[in-house]
């Protein structure tokens, strides 16, 4: 905050009014955070004084216990707010789900995950838009991309990136055998236009084609769907939900910018892990959670060991305990 405030006194600071206004808003938000922590510190100091007074006046113990409980709750909230303090955490997210190998089984699992995240967003009152979906031949989806817009959507959903594993009795197996399925979840922020993600027009190939809904429905007479290939990375993104080619292109570019941002964040995380001497890759594609529906009921997060036997609730969107545990763990690792 002090560094930013020093910048406001520099000559020419207000020459770019829009940039200056954004900087002032950032300072205001930081000042609010600093004041909240300072207030908490003063309350803790006062409580400590009250504790020493209570040694001579036991009647103060009830007041002290109430203040201690209040301080603990306030501290927990403030501590968790640090987990949602990333540069894009407060904004919307783009989530992509890809079925793993295994045909119909994996595609059905991908659709179950789609429903799970849509229910999670619905419970929070978030807006969801499916921007692209490729359905499976028999059931489920091969891949699907959803934009989720709501306060701290990216901050929470970034906890979900990785591989999700399902173990169940297959509804598609006539012998009713147990199957294991995998699906990969990608999560990207919706970046502001002024965020520097350099995409050279020469590095992309854009293809337009006819978009179609389930079973060939809603097929447009004009080619409105857009597929963009990023040549340096080999990334391919598509969008066919919007009515116009221009809208689909803009949506596909948002996804591409988000994916390139996540690739850079993954590279930085791996470099940081090496500098700390951690002999593991910070790989966003690693398996993060296991959902077992047979022979017992258990959802377990492999990163935090948070688990529950209420698999129905989880698949209905009760994901906050898993998200919050992982986010708190990240704060601890950042400070470690």
Under a CB-based contact definition with an 8 Å cutoff, are residues 162 and 185 in contact? Answer: yes
Backbone phi, then psi, for 135, in 5-degree steps? -85, 155
Closest CA to 95 of 162, 27, 193: 162
Helix (H) or strand (E) holding 234: none
Backbone phi, then psi, for 160, in 5-degree steps? -100, -5
- DSSP secondary structure of 105-144: HHHHHHHHHHHHHHHHHHHHT-EEEEEEEEE-SSSSEEEE
Helix (H) or strand (E) holding 287: strand 287-292
Q: What pLDDT score does 276 carry?
A: 54
Q: What pLDDT score does 282 carry?
A: 38
Q: What pLDDT score does 77 carry?
A: 82
Which residue do the tokens 């900087």 mark? 23
3.40.50.1100, 3.30.70.1660, 3.30.565.10, 3.40.50.2000: CATH of 93-196+285-335? 3.30.70.1660
User: CA 78 to CA 328: how far, in whole Å?
Assistant: 11
Under a CB-based contact definition with an 8 Å cutoff, are residues 293 and 166 in contact? Answer: yes
- DSSP secondary structure of 237-263: EEE--SSSHHHHHHHHHHHHHHHHHHH
Q: What pLDDT score does 222 carry?
A: 61
Under a CB-based contact definition with an 8 Å cutoff, are residues 73 and 62 in contact? Answer: no
Q: What is the dihedral of CA 290, 294, 295, 299, to 10 degrees?
A: 30
Q: Do domains 93-196+285-335 and 201-267 have the same CATH topology?
A: no
The token duo for 190 is: 């919706």
User: CA 197 to CA 199: how far, in whole Å?
Assistant: 6
Domain boundaries, the chain: 2-83, 93-196+285-335, 201-267
Closest CA to 173 of 294, 332, 259, 326: 294
User: CA 226 to CA 256: how far, in whole Å?
Assistant: 12
Which residue do the tokens 């999670």 mark? 120
Q: What is the pLDDT along the chain (336 residues), one digit of tens a residue?
A: 999 999 998 888 999 888 888 889 889 888 988 999 999 999 999 999 988 888 888 888 888 999 999 999 999 888 888 888 888 898 999 999 999 988 899 999 999 999 999 999 999 999 999 989 989 888 999 999 999 999 899 999 999 999 999 999 988 887 878 899 999 999 999 887 656 677 888 999 999 988 764 433 344 446 789 999 999 999 999 998 777 888 899 889 989 999 998 888 888 877 766 765 644 433 445 799 999 999 999 999 999 999 999 999 999 999 999 999 999 898 866 654
Under a CB-based contact definition with an 8 Å cutoff, are residues 255 and 148 in contact? Answer: no
Q: What pLDDT score does 174 carry?
A: 74
The token duo for 270 is: 């791996």
Q: What pLDDT score does 324 carry?
A: 93
CATH class, domain 201-267, is alpha beta
Strand 235-239 and strand 287-292: the pairing is: unpaired
Handedness of CA 171, 177, 178, 181 (dihedral sign): negative
Under a CB-based contact definition with an 8 Å cutoff, are residues 133 and 143 in contact? Answer: yes
Q: What pLDDT score does 283 carry?
A: 41
Query: Residue 157's CB: how many other CB atoms inside 10 A?
Result: 27
Under a CB-based contact definition with an 8 Å cutoff, are residues 232 and 198 in contact? Answer: no
Closest CA to 227 of 215, 218, 236: 236
User: CA 303 to CA 322: how far, in whole Å?
Assistant: 10
Strand order in the sheet with 93-99: 127-135, 141-149, 93-99, 178-189, 162-169, 287-292, 298-301, 307-308
């Amino acid at each position: 905050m002090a560094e930013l405030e020093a910048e406001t006194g520099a000559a020419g600071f207000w020459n770019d009014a829009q940039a200056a206004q954004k900087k002032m808003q950032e300072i205001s938000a930081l000042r609010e955070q600093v004041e909240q922590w300072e207030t908490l510190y003063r309350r803790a100091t006062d409580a400590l004084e009250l504790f020493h007074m209570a040694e001579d006046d036991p009647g103060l113990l009830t007041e002290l216990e109430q203040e201690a409980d209040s301080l603990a709750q306030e501290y927990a909230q403030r501590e968790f707010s640090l987990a949602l303090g990333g540069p894009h955490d407060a904004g919307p997210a783009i989530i992509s789900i890809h079925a793993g190998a295994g045909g119909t089984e994996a595609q059905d699992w991908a659709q179950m995950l789609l429903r799970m995240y849509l229910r999670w967003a619905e419970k929070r009152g978030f807006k969801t838009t499916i921007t692209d979906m490729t359905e499976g031949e028999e059931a489920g989806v091969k891949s699907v991309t959803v934009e989720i817009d709501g306060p701290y959507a990216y901050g929470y959903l970034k906890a979900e990136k990785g591989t999700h594993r399902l173990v169940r009795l297959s509804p598609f197996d006539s012998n009713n055998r147990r199957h294991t399925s995998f699906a990969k979840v990608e999560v990207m922020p919706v970046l502001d236009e002024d965020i520097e993600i350099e995409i050279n027009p020469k590095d992309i190939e854009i293809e337009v084609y006819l978009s179609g809904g389930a079973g060939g429905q809603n097929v447009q007479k004009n080619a409105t769907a857009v597929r963009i290939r990023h040549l340096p990375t080999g990334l391919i993104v598509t969008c066919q939900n919007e009515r116009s080619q221009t809208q689909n292109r803009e949506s596909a570019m948002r996804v591409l910018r988000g994916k390139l941002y996540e690739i850079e964040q993954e590279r930085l995380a791996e470099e940081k892990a090496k500098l700390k001497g951690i002999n593991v890759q910070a790989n966003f594609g690693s398996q993060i959670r296991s959902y077992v529906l047979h022979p017992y009921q258990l959802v377990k997060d492999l990163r935090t060991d948070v688990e529950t036997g209420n698999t129905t609730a989880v698949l209905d969107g009760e994901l906050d305990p898993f998200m919050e545990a992982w986010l708190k763990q990240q704060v601890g690792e950042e400070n470690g």
